[in-house]
Amino acid sequence: MTTPRALPTLFGRYSLVLSEHSNLETTLQRLKDAARRFNAQHMAPSQELVLSALLTDLRANLERHFQAEESEDYFGALVRESPALAPRVAALRHQHGAMLATLDALRLLAFEAHAWSRFERTVSVLIKTFNAHERSESLLIHGFLAGEDKTA
């Protein structure tokens, strides 16, 4: 059995990213709840403001979160220590871009009267994608810290 690596800086960054995941999951759940409650055909101006603010905040928070993950101190450190992880890290980076693009599409769909059901479905897809992405990322980090990345 391989002994875990001692990388406190990376471990500290990982702990911070995990706490951000929890905050993002809460915000995504708020978006899901809003998608169930609101109806674009009958949305009150106050609801439009709430939804617009929620989408704007989520976009900014996701972008900041993804930038932190893609930094040289996080994904960069993984690839420097274990170049075999580069394809998996590249796939995670690609997923970041795809999720941001989905969120941008949601921002357009939110206020189209006849697109509300599509908005709700897209929110569900975004949440499922985010959760699957975070599981993949956690498996990558756990494997790396346990020294299992050499077979990746």
3 domain-assigned: no
pLDDT tens for 26-58 read 888 888 888 887 765 566 767 778 888 999 999
Q: What is the dihedral of CA 127, 132, 134, 138, to 10 degrees?
A: 160
pLDDT of 68 over the 50 cut: yes
Other CB atoms within 10 A of residue 22 CB: 9
b/e per residue 68-103 (b: at least 16 CB within 10 A) = ebeeeebbebbbeebeebeebbeebeebbeebeebb
* pLDDT (average), residues 64-72: 90
123 domain-assigned: yes
51 domain-assigned: yes
pLDDT of 8 over the 50 cut: no
φ, ψ of residue 90 to 5 degrees: the values are: -60, -40
86 domain-assigned: yes
User: Structurally, how many domains does the chain consist of?
Assistant: 1
Crossing angle for the helix pair 86-109 and 116-145, nearest 10 degrees? 160
- At 41 the pLDDT is 58
Q: Residue 49's domain spans which residues?
A: 8-151
pLDDT tens for 56-65 read 999 999 999 9
Angle, CA 68 vertex, CA 66 and CA 71 arms, to 5°: 110
146 domain-assigned: yes
Residues 6+ apart with CB under 8 A from 111: 40, 43, 48
Closest CA to 123 of 54, 43, 41, 46: 54
1 domain-assigned: no
- We report the CATH number of the domain holding residue 76 as 1.20.120
2 domain-assigned: no
